Amino acid sequence: MSELELWLLFLAVGLGTFALRLSFIQFHGQLRLPPVLNRALAYVPASVLAALVLPSVVYPTADAELTLANPRILAALVAALLAWKTKNILYTLLGGMAVLWLLQSLG
Amino acid sequence: MQYTTGKDAFYAGVRALLPAAPGVIPFGLVTGVTAIEQGLSPLTTIGMTVLFFAGAAQMAALQLLRNDAFPLVILVTALVINLRFLMYSASMAPHFASLPKRWTWPMSYVLSDQAYVLSILKFSAGKAPLYGHYFFAGAAFSMWLTWQLAVMAGVFLGAEIPPSWSLDFAIPLVFLALLVPSVRNRACLVAACVGGVVAVLAAGMAYNLGLLVASFCGISAGLLVEHYQCRRPGRAGHSESEKTDSRKSEDTAP
């Protein structure tokens, strides 16, 4: 993509995101989502985040194979446990990276 | 605590944001580093960060750019990731109802996960009736500044970090740290499992539509479980309490 196309794309995402953020604040009392969409929104974070996490853990590179020998899987499991117990992004990040580095230095 | 002036409330918002900063800074650094490794110029990266002001969407967009996805796929994926802002907007709207545009427009731009969570806790406890928007502005603008500076630091550190550190793994780890607390009940758990598994299966899908397809499957699975739980009479009480939990953020919706 050319530099200009990149900027246009980023501008479009920026405007769309701003519209999402402004939506109900601007049209308070006038804007209503259909009930099913309203309920669907509750599942957006869990679905999207899981869809972002899982492929990048099990496929570290684009041409990698799905294998349990991949140290990122164990590191991610430890990180998930830390996220659950501590609810802290920094501890999750440090714990996960530490396990990955350890496994990589052993392997 | 009642704030006697707007300035008090603003600084209280800034102070409330500080404990969230250690989680945001590594995410921002990684985003900056990734963008530079991606071949984006420092200026384009900063422009992207200012225009998006949404870390998860920005990371996903960078990943798609690396895979040469179509611009339209990148746009739709980023906006689907940002759909959660609709929820936040609905939840904040009653508290901003009487404010003029010179307040609501800038405050909408800086609406983030962190600023939303901190402020809605204050608002729903009735703790900031008079200067609530100053509290929000303090938290949200300091979040904005923290994010921009963290990405910028990543941009200038970018070339210095050796690949053997596997710093790219920090991205799924940050998402994981956000994912775990978002799984608040069984329907969310099913949504996450379906979304994750479909994303793995669809990783090689044409046009990089994997993330979008997986998200829609996950969301539909969550809705199905919710629907099924409501209809099972034996579990009515149980599922009712779970439902209230999953909709907490919508209680204040118009």
The string of pLDDT tens digits covering residues A5-58 is: 999 999 999 999 999 999 999 998 888 888 888 888 889 889 999 998 999 899
User: Which pLDDT value is given to residue B53?
Assistant: 97
Query: CA angle at residue B111 from B131 to A31, to 5 degrees?
Result: 90
- The number of C-alpha atoms within 13 Å of B146 and in the hemisphere containing its C-beta is 24
Q: Which of B31, B69, B66, B34 is nearest to B50 (CA)?
A: B31
A107 vs B contacts (CB less than 8 Å): none
CB-nearest to A13 from B52, B105, B165 is B52
Return all residues near A38 (Cβ < 8 A) that are at least 6 apart.
B250, B253
CB-nearest to A53 from B63, B111, B176 is B176
Counted across chains A and B, CB pairs separated by less than 8 A come out at 276
B238–chain A nearest CA distance, Å: 18
Residue B152 near residue B23 (C-beta atoms within 8 A): no
Is residue B228 within 8 angstroms of chain A, CB to CB?
no
User: Which pLDDT value is given to residue B242?
Assistant: 41
Return all residues near B79 (Cβ < 8 A) that are at least 6 apart.
A13, A16, A17, A20, B57
Share above pLDDT 90 across residues of chain B, in percent, rounded to a whole number: 46
User: Which pLDDT value is given to residue A62?
Assistant: 67
Supply the DSSP string of B51-89, one letter for each residue.
HH--HHHHHHHHHHHHTT--HHHHHHHHHHHTTHHHHHH
Q: What is the largest CA-CA distance in chain A?
A: 60
Give backbone dihedrals phi and psi of A60, rounded to 5 degrees, phi first. Answer: -60, -35
Is residue A53 within 8 angstroms of chain B, CB to CB?
yes
Using CA atoms, how far apart are residues B252 and B85, in angstroms rounded to an integer?
Answer: 15
Is residue A43 within 8 angstroms of chain B, CB to CB?
yes
E strand or H helix that includes residue B138: helix B132-157
What ipTM was predicted for this assembly? Answer: 0.88
Q: How many CB atoms lie within 10 A of CB B63?
A: 21
The answer, yes or no, to whether residue A69 has pLDDT greater than 70, is yes
Q: Which of B32, B60, B65, B147 is nearest to A3 (CA)?
A: B65
Which of A1, A20, A49, A81 to mutate to test binding with chain B, by most B CBs within 10 Å of its CB? A49
Using CA atoms, how far apart are residues A39 and B242, in angstroms rounded to an integer?
Answer: 13
Q: Cα separations (Å) of A107 from A79, B80, B237?
A: 19, 38, 50
Q: Which residue has the tokens 């194979």?
A: A65
For B31-87, what is each residue's pLDDT tens digit? Answer: 998 899 888 999 999 999 999 999 989 988 998 898 888 999 999 999 999 998 998
Residues 116-155 on B with a CB inside 8 Å of A are none
Is residue B22 within 8 angstroms of chain A, CB to CB?
yes
B211 vs A contacts (CB less than 8 Å): 48, 51-52
A98–chain B nearest CA distance, Å: 10
Return all residues near B72 (Cβ < 8 A) that are at least 6 apart.
none
Q: Which of B99, B90, B92 is nearest to B130 (CA)?
A: B99
Residue B182 DSSP label: H
Q: Which residue has the tokens 């090689």?
A: B204
Is residue A86 within 8 angstroms of chain B, CB to CB?
no
Using CA atoms, how far apart are residues B11 and A100, in angstroms rounded to an integer?
Answer: 39
Residue of B nearest to A4 (CA): B44
- Per-residue confidence in pLDDT tens, chain B, 254 aa: 578 888 999 999 999 888 778 778 888 988 998 899 888 999 999 999 999 999 989 988 998 898 888 999 999 999 999 998 998 898 889 889 889 999 999 999 999 988 998 888 788 777 656 788 999 999 999 999 999 999 999 999 876 777 777 877 887 888 898 899 889 899 999 999 999 999 999 988 877 788 899 999 999 999 999 999 887 655 444 444 444 444 433 333 33
